[in-house]
Amino acid sequence: QGFNVFLIGDSQAKLDEIRVDVESKDPEVELRPFVFDFADATRDDYGSLYKELGTIEVGFLVNNTELLSSGPAMLHEYSEGKDGLAKMSTVNTLPMMLLSASVLEQMSAREKGVIVNFSSMAGTMEKAYWSVLSASKKYVIHLSDVLREEYVSRGVVIQTITRGNVAATMNGEPSFFCPLPDRYSKLALRSIGIADKTAGYPSHQLQVELLSLVPHLFLALFMHIKNRKHRKSRRDIE
């Protein structure tokens, strides 16, 4: 509320759809779309994005770029191959780092600003068979922790949200552990400035806390059994 929006995405059609939705709910909000493909961006591409960001006062940055794994697999068996691994690692780590660096200069000069970095529960554990996804999400958590220490004296709030599963669309099938996106977003926003790290939703936070109490051996065994069933079900479908 009270913010205009600079929205970055790789699809003009999707950006236009979001723009219409936002303007229908609050006509006073100015939404500026910017088409950008984080998966294949070059140094020159990023230069044009930095230039655009330099024309606006960014008070609130949400880093939410991600590329998920198609399913559990050993590293050398990943279905999208080495190029897919490189793309996932890049999308899940590089934009968050570079966009933060871009806006922190102006935020620290003003001595105020908020950065919210979205990670996931996959980054809170050593999630076998999801190695690159888990490691890249852990990177977001770790870098956020370090940046928080660096910029605490500059008045910049840096928060990490380690979310769990969210229903894919507003028409999805919600459950106790899988809320609708709108419901999740409202509760996650309320945690800004209150918690440095949070799952953003009560049932997700419960999962994180419970998993932290499980001995590594039992957690690894549970994940191994779960992933084996997942891989078997995928083979049966194929």
Instruction: With H, G, I as helix, E, B as strand and everything else as coil, classify residue 56.
Output: coil
Residue 120: per-residue pLDDT? 94
CA dist 145 and 3 (Å) reads: 26
Please give the Cα distance from 156 to 144 (Å, whole number): 12
Residue 119: helix, strand or coil by DSSP? strand
Class of domain 57-237: alpha beta
What pLDDT, on a 0 to 100 scale, did the predictor assign at position 237?
A: 58
What is the total residue count of the chain?
A: 238
- Per-residue pLDDT tens listing for the chain (238 residues): 678 999 999 999 999 999 999 889 888 999 999 999 999 999 999 999 999 999 999 999 999 999 998 889 999 999 899 999 999 999 999 999 999 999 999 999 999 999 999 999 999 988 889 999 999 999 999 999 999 999 999 999 999 999 988 876 544 578 888 888 888 888 888 888 888 999 988 899 998 888 888 898 888 888 888 888 777 776 655 5
CA distance 163 to 16: 26
Q: Give the span between the Cα atoms of 167 and 188, in whole angstroms.
A: 15
Write down the pLDDT at residue 95. Answer: 97
Bridge-based pairing state of the strands 156-163 and 60-63: unpaired
